[in-house]
């Protein structure tokens, strides 16, 4: 991971935000190459969802043909949106602070991870393992391994202590035993505060006077824009259920512990789609989108052994969801066997449209969703009161559509593509000596630059011919780069490192017979072809 972060900085993919002032934790800037890479990721998603979508044919595996439209909503929405969506009451994490080091931790990240080490009278180490009250026996071994790694304690020593403690491990529930926990960097145990709630929404105020009633929030997800515009889209577009509304754009979450490079940031971009369908067909649509979204990552170059589709267990589901699956990737910073979420595909039932009609919903005693009421019997967070029921003019049926939501992160996808494509090898230079090479084997459609034009030497008309070719690529809308500095091998390596799939070399022969060589980044194969065919060739390969 360190090498990837270093490459991102060295070659201008990703910089820390406000770096000259010491940086701002959880915020990132995309440099000249990074902005192109992320744009290409978003463009690939938009093309798949909207531009290339054919509403008159049924895609393989889909229950029927369907329509897709796009949207671009404001970042700040009416505060009632977040009250009805549940974010105002429920979008929080538990956090604990260390009084000594002043560090702050997300409680679910520390639970089960840390131990208090002490020596008994015989000089034997004892390990108190902080676990969840209901951590299964099988999960404890994993906890021991993580804890030993964290404290740099040999597993062998822990074994001795555990045997001594037999018959089993000491499972300590967090609430009563924070006093025994040593946080990293602290000298004393017991410096952790009790876990408390922390809402992740960024608060702001609207207008100059800015009283409490003017409080608003930066959106923590793009999804709500699609729900509150459901009727607008229906009334203005010629769409019928089933159809989807897609949006990509910035979201903000005041994450307690931003970490792992851009993986967990406080400002990030999402690519979300809300798919509205008939309740009877919703399970089939859920299955369709779950599989299709997984395939999208595979087809853009994420290796299947590091990518997985994981169905949530029943107790992991949100209170409204009847099914959720995550597309996950084994990032280099993940522990062995662990994965990081790239995208969640959720069956959300009619929760969202009903909440925006009737008011915030909660499960009642019988397990049904009902409007939450206050002590006065009125809705605690009233909905818009607008009719968001769909009327099917062919079947004459009225119903609240069910929603399937594939919610992806553009930054996490970009990071996964960077990690997957990073390779190191060695290639011979002009004199035959092996030179180390870093190469980003990005899918050509994602590469920031598609083709580099390289005159072999800076004389004899080669730069002129090269420049003309470079300009013709630009005119054809193919991002290209012209480089005539340094030995040709070095120039190839410069392009390999940023993932340019093809290099074109203009040499002495080019001036005589109007041919150039086309070099492939991955196979290293070089083919000669007429200069007037090379643009069509690259365009065809990009389409391929
Ligand atoms: P996590 O459990 O990792 O916090 P989440 O389940 O809360 O993620 P969702 O609310 O489902 O995430 O958001 C959809 C997608 O948005 C995620 O799959 C991820 O790709 C992206 N995303 C969410 N939070 C962040 C973040 N803090 N930084 C970068 N991307 C994020």
The finding on whether 255 has its CB within 6 A of some atom of ligand 1 is yes
Strand partners, 427: 435
| Residue 323 CA to ligand 1 centre (angstroms) | 17
Nearest partner of 98 among 210, 195, 197, 239, judged by Cα: 195
pLDDT tens, residue order, the chain (544 aa): 999 999 999 999 999 999 999 999 999 999 999 999 999 999 999 999 999 999 999 999 999 999 999 999 999 999 999 999 999 988 888 888 889 888 888 877 666 555 555 555 655 555 555 554 445 555 666 666 665 665 566 666 655 444 333 323 333 334 445 665 667 667 766 787 877 888 899 999 988 777 777 789 999 999 999 999 999 999 999 999 999 999 999 999 999 889 899 999 999 999 999 999 999 999 999 999 999 999 999 999 998 799 999 999 887 777 667 789 999 999 999 988 899 999 999 999 999 999 999 999 988 878 788 999 988 889 899 999 999 999 999 999 999 999 999 999 999 999 999 999 999 999 887 788 888 899 999 999 999 999 999 999 998 899 999 999 999 999 999 999 999 999 999 999 999 999 999 999 999 999 999 999 999 999 999 999 999 999 999 999 999 7
For the chain, the domain total comes to: 3
Q: ω before 167 within 30° of 0 (cis)?
A: yes
Torsions phi, psi of 305, nearest 5? Answer: -80, -20
Nearest partner of 268 among 216, 331, 322, 222, judged by Cα: 222
Residue 444: Cβ-neighbour burial (10 angstroms; 0-12, 13-18, 19+): buried
Verify that 304 and 408 share a domain, yes or no: yes
Flag whether 36 is in a domain: yes
For 77, residues 6+ apart whose C-beta sits below 8 A from its C-beta are 216, 217, 219, 224, 225, 228
| Residue 508 CA to ligand 1 centre (angstroms) | 53
Q: What does the block give as tokens for 144?
A: 């021991």
pLDDT at 111: 63
Q: Which ligand 1 atom lies nearest to the CA of residue 270?
A: 16
Flag whether 7 is in a domain: no
Ligand 1 mutation pick, 30, 226, 250, 268, max ligand atoms within 8 A of CB:
268
Verify that 184 and 275 share a domain, yes or no: no
Q: What is the four-CA torsion angle of 314, 315, 320, 322, rounded to 10 degrees? A: 0
Q: Which ligand 1 atom lies nearest to the CA of residue 340?
A: 3
| Residue 65 CA to ligand 1 centre (angstroms) | 30
Contact (Cβ atoms closer than 8 angstroms) between residue 312 and residue 328: no
Ligand 1 mutation pick, 218, 246, 344, 345, max ligand atoms within 8 A of CB:
344
Verify that 243 and 295 share a domain, yes or no: yes
Q: What does the block give as tokens for 313?
A: 């267990």
- Cα separation, 517 vs 504, in Å, equals 6
What residue owns the CA closest to ligand 1's atom 27?
264
What residue owns the CA closest to ligand 1's atom 19?
409
Q: Which domain holds residue 412?
A: 30-91+200-416
Tokens 């709630």 belong to which residue? Answer: 197
Q: What is the CATH number of the domain that holds 365?
A: 3.30.930.10
Verify that 483 and 375 share a domain, yes or no: no
Q: How distant, in Å, are the alpha carbons of 174, 260, 292, 338, 356 from that of 332?
A: 29, 10, 25, 10, 40
What residue owns the CA closest to ligand 1's atom 22?
409
pLDDT at 172: 38
Verify that 328 and 338 share a domain, yes or no: yes
Verify that 496 and 371 share a domain, yes or no: no
Verify that 80 and 206 share a domain, yes or no: yes
Verify that 164 and 205 share a domain, yes or no: no
The pLDDT tens digits of the residues spanning 402-457 come to 999 999 999 999 999 999 999 999 988 778 888 889 999 999 999 999 999 999 99
Strand partners, 379: 373
The finding on whether 407 has its CB within 6 A of some atom of ligand 1 is yes
What residue owns the CA closest to ligand 1's atom 30?
409
Ligand 1 mutation pick, 200, 329, 409, 415, max ligand atoms within 8 A of CB:
409
What residue owns the CA closest to ligand 1's atom 24?
264
Ligand 1 mutation pick, 26, 340, 412, max ligand atoms within 8 A of CB:
412
Verify that 65 and 175 share a domain, yes or no: no
Q: Last residue of some domain: 371, 399, 416?
A: 416
The pTM (predicted TM-score) of the whole model is: 0.86
pLDDT at 140: 60
| Residue 270 CA to ligand 1 centre (angstroms) | 8
The finding on whether 89 has its CB within 6 A of some atom of ligand 1 is no
Q: Last residue of some domain: 198, 218, 236?
A: 198
Verify that 193 and 204 share a domain, yes or no: no
The finding on whether 264 has its CB within 6 A of some atom of ligand 1 is yes
| Residue 95 CA to ligand 1 centre (angstroms) | 18
The finding on whether 224 has its CB within 6 A of some atom of ligand 1 is no
pLDDT at 165: 39
Q: Which ligand 1 atom lies nearest to the CA of residue 258?
A: 27
Flag whether 2 is in a domain: no
- Cα separation, 319 vs 363, in Å, equals 7
Q: How distant, in Å, are the alpha carbons of 49, 72, 90, 375 from that of 406?
A: 11, 17, 21, 37
């Amino acid at each position: 991971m360190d090498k990837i972060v270093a490459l991102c900085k060295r070659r201008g993919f990703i910089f820390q935000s406000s770096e000259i002032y010491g940086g701002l934790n959880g915020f990132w800037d995309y440099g000249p190459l990074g902005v192109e890479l992320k744009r290409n990721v978003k463009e690939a998603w938009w093309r798949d969802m909207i531009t290339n979508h054919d509403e008159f044919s049924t895609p393989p595996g889909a229950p029927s043909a369907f329509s897709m439209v796009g949207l671009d909503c404001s970042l700040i929405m009416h505060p009632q949106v977040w009250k009805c969506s549940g974010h105002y009451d429920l979008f929080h994490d538990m956090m604990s602070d260390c009084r000594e080091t002043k560090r702050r931790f997300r409680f679910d990240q520390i639970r089960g991870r840390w131990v208090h080490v002490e020596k008994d009278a015989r000089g034997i180490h004892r390990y108190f393992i902080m676990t969840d009250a209901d951590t299964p026996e099988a999960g404890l071994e994993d906890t021991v391994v993580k804890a030993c790694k964290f404290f740099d304690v040999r597993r062998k020593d822990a074994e001795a202590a555990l045997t001594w403690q037999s018959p089993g491990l000491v499972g300590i529930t967090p609430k009563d035993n924070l006093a025994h926990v040593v946080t990293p960097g602290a000298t004393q145990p017991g410096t952790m505060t009790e876990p408390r709630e922390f809402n992740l929404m960024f608060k702001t105020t609207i207008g100059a006077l800015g009283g409490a009633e003017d409080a608003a929030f930066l959106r923590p997800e793009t999804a709500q824009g699609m729900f509150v515009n459901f009727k607008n889209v229906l009334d203005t577009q010629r769409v019928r259920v089933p159809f989807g509304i897609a949006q990509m754009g910035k979201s903000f979450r005041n994450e307690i512990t931003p970490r792992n490079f851009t993986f967990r940031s406080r400002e990030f971009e999402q690519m979300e789609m809300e798919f509205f369908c008939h309740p009877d067909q919703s399970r089939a649509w859920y299955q369709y989108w779950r599989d299709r979204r997984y395939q999208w990552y595979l087809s853009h170059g994420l290796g299947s052994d590091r990518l997985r589709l994981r169905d949530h267990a029943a107790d992991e589901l949100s209170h409204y969801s009847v099914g959720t699956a995550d597309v996950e990737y084994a990032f280099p910073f993940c522990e062995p066997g662990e994965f990081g979420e790239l995208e969640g595909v959720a069956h959300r039932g009619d929760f969202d449209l009903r909440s925006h009609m009737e008011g915030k919903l909660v499960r009642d005693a019988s397990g049904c969703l009902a409007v939450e009421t206050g002590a006065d019997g009125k809705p605690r967070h009233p909905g818009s009161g607008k009719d968001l029921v769909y009327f099917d003019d062919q079947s004459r049926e009225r119903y609240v559509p069910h929603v399937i939501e594939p919610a992806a992160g553009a930054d996490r996808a970009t990071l996964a593509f960077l990690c997957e494509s990073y390779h190191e090898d060695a290639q011979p230079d002009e004199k035959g000596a092996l030179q180390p090479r870093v190469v980003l084997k990005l899918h050509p459609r994602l590469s920031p630059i598609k083709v580099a034009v390289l005159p072999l030497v800076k004389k004899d008309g080669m730069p002129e011919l090269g420049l003309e070719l470079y300009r013709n690529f630009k005119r054809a809308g193919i991002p290209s780069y012209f480089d005539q500095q340094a030995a040709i091998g070095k120039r190839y390596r410069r392009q390999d490192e940023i993932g340019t799939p093809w290099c074109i070399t203009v040499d002495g022969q080019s001036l005589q017979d109007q041919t150039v060589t086309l070099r492939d980044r991955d196979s290293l194969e070089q083919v000669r072809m007429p200069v007037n065919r090379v643009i069509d060739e690259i365009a065809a390969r990009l389409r391929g």
